[in-house]
Structure 1
């Protein structure tokens, strides 16, 4: 790959990350029109990397293209909540089992350093959520499976968006972060069964909290994933 091609890929990757972040943080809310010209001005990029990023975001279900109408930020439907979390509840424990076998002391030292940050006073919920994500990313990377990592990154981003939509103003992230301390201990001990079980509980707990928040906000009871 030439230097010019590498730079182009880097720009497209950066555009994807920035636009996805805007969608997750609700700077671009569900149903909003996505305009290439506005994004070019905001991100100070040309049309090509923006267009490539939007095509990828459409594949990842963050934006929806409606012929003759335009491009819109995708909504997350009630029936998709079950699919999102049941997929995470299967894939995250599997990745954790791989990470238990393939991870190194350096990985778990890095995770310990992230967990140490969570104990610092004055951490906002959004900052704790970012640290939660970093813990997951360390486990995904340690699994040594880039296909799992790519898929779980997209699934977590959708969960992150749900948190900003329904839980940001009410949810205490402290308990979720504490769960990572137990997960870390099991990873260090090399106990794959315990790691997988704790990860599944962690994902299902977040699922239950999102469902409760959606039901409370919209007055719409949601069925269990079971």
Structure 2
């Protein structure tokens, strides 16, 4: 129940249903999620460790703000870890995993798929790669980093024009994963992460009207 509470509260934070600065009250979350006090409290403690929630002394907890100055650190961490996961996945992945990824991509090619659904496909493609890598410590870290990136994307989604391109890039990634080409898989995933960073940073810059720190 604690893990379920964590996943559901984090999703609300990522999707901005709980906005930066919102005060988090255990009673409200219990009513909203239908989950008891102890799992909610444990989930909030974990969310605080993962920097989605901040603890305010004598006042409780609130949703952490999105610090655009930390985008560079977020990118440079993912740019190291995601390609490493892809390298492992190319040598450890199974046909069933790549078939699942192919089916997701195929479904996303329909016309009229909303941006939020495309983001779900992108995330699931990443999750399949992490699973194929077969390293749970790596997966746990990448899951948290992706969620932080996803949150930034939702904050500035209206300014990011090429949402479908993020999913389309997985077509070539899938091909090299099937072929077991670890070096090429790592290169393509690094480029994929860099493309995300470039789009979001451009969107943030446009929104704020001033360049981001490089």
Relative to the length of structure 1, the TM-score reads 0.92
Matching of residues 12-23 of structure 1 within 5 Å: 12-23=2-13
SS at match of 1:136: helix
**Cα deviations across residues 133-175 of structure 1 (Å, max 9, x unaligned)?**
1100000000000000000001001111111101246433111
**Does residue 60 in structure 1 map to residue 61 in structure 2?**
no
Paired residue secondary structure (1:147): helix
- Structure 1 residues 93, 170: CA separation in 2 closer, same or farther (over 3 Å shift)? closer
1: CA distance, partners of 2:71 / 2:178: 32
Q: Name 1:36's counterpart in structure 2.
A: 26
* Higher RCO structure (Cα 8 Å, ≥6 apart): 2
What's the counterpart of residue 114 of structure 1? 104
Instruction: Select 1:154's aligned residue among 136, 144, 158.
Output: 144
CA contact (8 A) 1:215 1:222 kept: yes
Contact 1:23 1:73 in 2 (8 A): yes
Tell me, in whole angstroms, the C-alpha distance in 1 between the residues paired with 2:14 and 2:57: 24
| 2:17 equivalent in structure 1 | 27
Equivalent positions of 1:83-162 (< 5 A) are 83-162=73-152
Unmatched segments (≥5 aa) in structure 2: none
State the 1:92 CA deviation. Answer: 0.1
CA deviation vs aligned residue, 1:93-142 (integer Å, no higher than 9, x gap): 00000001111111111111111111122210100110011100000000
The count of corresponding residues between Structure 1 and Structure 2 is 214
Whether contact under 8 Å (1:126, 1:168) holds in the other structure is no
Q: Are the aligned partners of 2:83 and 2:185 in contact in 1 as well (CA < 8 Å)?
A: yes
